[in-house]
Structure 1
Amino acid sequence: MKKNLILFLTKSLFFAFLITPFLVVNAQEDASIKTKNPFWENVQFGGGLGLGFGSNFTNITVAPSGIYNFNEYFSAGLGLQYSYVKQKGYYQSNIYGGSIIALFNPIREIQISTEIEQLRVNSKYDGFYGNFNDDFWNTALFIGAGYRTNNVTLGVRYNVLHKDNDGVYADALIPFVRVYF
């Protein structure tokens, strides 16, 4: 009788150890399905990195962004930007701020965008005209269009608030590459 009881307990424990991992895995899968937030399934992240070097010139830009896809036609999101620009012996500038973007895809390959950008510019000049600081806010309102393939859009955007010799951008028309994963 003892021998049968020990054999029964041994087989039961063996079976319990064998099946327990499957029950735990199944329970975790069910819990993840119930707690999965559908909001994050529609979020994409992307942004830009820029490096420019030349004769005594440096330009470094980091610009992460994220969008929420409301459906296959409309998306909206936020972006951040930081740039360091230096022309040795002339000026040094720190530019930082954010943007709000709206995207419309009338067909899969075409993307139309509207973006408002607010940047703080802190520049320090040392040159022929003397040493001085120039700190200001720069606002840009871009209207753009591009060709889209998968997660990449190539296009051009126009700053409707552009003023010559006043602001961050040298020209109102700016090409762009937009990537979201």
Structure 2
Amino acid sequence: MRKNNSYTISKSVFITIIALITNTLHAQQQTITTNSSSDFWKNVQFGGGIGLGFSTGYTNISSSPSAIYNFNEYAALGLGAQYTYIKQKNFYNANLYGGSVIGLLNPFPQIQLSAELEQLRVNVNFDDANSNSQDFWNTGLFLGAGYRSGYATIGARYNVLSDKNNIYGSAFMPFVRVYF
């Protein structure tokens, strides 16, 4: 009987030790996961832009939120969304919507280089009964450079995929980029 009792106690001690070790490992794993998750969000910045343009018979309203992840002080990568509404009275109205991927390089604290691939769906409805509506995709690849101070960068970008059918008035565009 004593042998059986000894075996039962040994078995109980062994199970208790395994349970404690497993619980300790699980707690450490949760701590590591929590820290790496919070480190991720410490490197994320949100920003974007809004645009309003009005004149006689013309309206242009746009919104373009975005977020970037800073790998270090020199490089960042992010995603953006865009929506634009344009109306020219007695001529047309258009909806543009889509997304983009942006890469940022900061070789010096004040200089920011950028590359942005943008894909927009364009829906144009003409007011003239003889004109057809247009629905198409527009792709832009913008390369840019700007001066950075704090959270803001002011500069210019150029659409290297621009052609005569481009939805923008020009391949060259100024920008103001803000990330918090």
State the superposition RMSD in angstroms: 1.7
- For 1:104, the equivalent position in structure 2 comes to 105
Give the 3-state SS of the residue equivalent to 1:162 in structure 2. coil
Give the 3-state SS of the residue equivalent to 1:132 in structure 2. coil
- For 1:162, the equivalent position in structure 2 comes to 162
Separation (CA, whole Å) in 1 of partners of 2:62 and 2:44: 23
Deviations 1:78-119 (A, max 9, x none): 000000000010000000000000000000000000000000
Percent of aligned positions with the same letter in both sequences?
Answer: 57
Separation (CA, whole Å) in 2 of partners of 1:162 and 1:147: 24
What's the TM-score once normalised by structure 1's chain length?
0.79
Structure 2 letter corresponding to 1:173: F
Q: Please list, as runs of the form range in 1=range in 2, the aligned pairs for 1:24-173 lying within 5 A after superposition.
A: 35-36=34-35, 37-127=38-128, 130-164=130-164, 166-173=165-172
What's the TM-score once normalised by structure 2's chain length?
0.79
Structure 1 ranges of 4+ moved more than 6 A: 31-34
Structure 2 letter corresponding to 1:125: F
Deviations 1:8-59 (A, max 9, x none): xxxxxxxxxxxxxxxxxxxxxxx99983511000000000000000010000
Separation (CA, whole Å) in 1 of partners of 2:90 and 2:66: 33
- For 1:175, the equivalent position in structure 2 comes to 174
